[in-house]
Structure 1
Amino acid sequence: MLLDWLTVVLLIGIGLVLIVVELIFVPGVTIVGILGFILVAVGIWISYAALGTETGHLVLAGSVLAGGIALFYSFRSEAWSRFALKDSNKSRVNEETPHLLEVGEEGITVSALRPQGTAIFKERRHEVQTTGTFLPPNTPVRIIKIVANKITVEAIT
């Protein structure tokens, strides 16, 4: 009898935890939620089969009540706020270290420019772009335009 109660409580408890995890953390319907629902259903079925109809009704009502309270608490409280992303990235390319580059300076590409990539000017890496052409790595380039922090380059021929 005690083992039956323990089995029922564990199945329903683990099932409800999996359902809450599905709703809060895992988007869509996945195996986590399906498994949680199956565990709750098996726990209720075992309560009817092993503990009797009257006890099964009580377990069913308790499971529905516990599930409702768990879902209400999960959505209404700040219990999950520590898992939420609250910060946003407001920086932009080349803003943290201002460049002192001028039109006409020459450098070399580090990555392929398709049309954007990385090049080295004055021993520092900078995000650059071409006018639409592909440039392979280690290509000598020249700055043709600087607008705000956008550096446009062309290959040196």
Structure 2
Amino acid sequence: MVLDWVTVILLIGIGLVLIIVELIFIPGTTIVGVLGFALAAIGIWIGYVALGTTIGHIVLALSVLASGVAVFYSFRNDAWSRFALKGSISGKVNDDVLHTLHVGDTGKTVSALRPQGTAIFQEQHFEVQTQGEFIDSNAAIRIITLTANKIIVEEIS
């Protein structure tokens, strides 16, 4: 009888710990959360089978209560905010040096443009794109459009 109680408490406890680990440290549906849910469910099932229906109901109610309290306190104590991304990237591609380029300037591709890639103009690297065609690396290109931090180029034949 004591062994049944210890088994039920350990299975449910380990299951709840694994579920909390899944929620806090390993977000997403992974094996840890599924294993935790399975262990908690097996613990509750053993509570019904080995200890009787009345005790099984009590074990189920306490398990639901314990998991609810754990989730409530983890939100209340703001434990999850330590793992949240708070920073943001405010920079833009080609933002600070775009004014030095002009339509018709020529340059050379550093990477293949499929249809986007890197090119060199005035000894500086820029992110450029084509109008849909592919251009190999080390090809001569010309700027045909400059709009809103986009540099549209074409290959020079």
TM-score for the superposition, normalised by structure 2: 0.75
Q: Equivalent residue for 1:106?
A: 106
In 2, distance between residues paired with 1:156 and 1:128? 15
Size of the alignment, in residue pairs? 154
Spell out the pairing of 1:75-90 with structure 2 (5 A cutoff).
75-90=75-90
In 2, distance between residues paired with 1:70 and 1:35? 18
Q: How far 1:134 moved relative to its partner? A: 1.9
Any conservation in 2 of the 1:20–1:74 contact (CA below 8 Å)?
A: no
Q: Equivalent residue for 1:27?
A: 28
Gaps of 5+ in 2: none
In 1, distance between residues paired with 2:147 and 2:41? 63
Gaps of 5+ in 1: none
In 2, distance between residues paired with 1:14 and 1:105? 66
SS at match of 2:111: coil
Spell out the pairing of 1:97-136 with structure 2 (5 A cutoff).
97-99=96-98, 100-136=100-136
Spell out the pairing of 1:41-120 with structure 2 (5 A cutoff).
41-47=41-47, 52-53=51-52, 58-95=58-95, 97-99=96-98, 100-120=100-120
Q: Calculate percent identity across the aligned residue pairs.
A: 63
TM-score for the superposition, normalised by structure 1: 0.75
Q: How far 1:109 moved relative to its partner? A: 0.6
Shifted more, 77-86 versus 55-64: the winner is 55-64
RMSD, aligned α-carbons: 2.9
Over residues 97-143 of structure 1, what are the superposed CA-to-partner deviations in whole Å (9 max), with x where a residue is unaligned?
42422333321111122222110122221011223322111111122
In 2, distance between residues paired with 1:130 and 1:37? 51
SS at match of 2:19: helix
SS at match of 1:152: strand
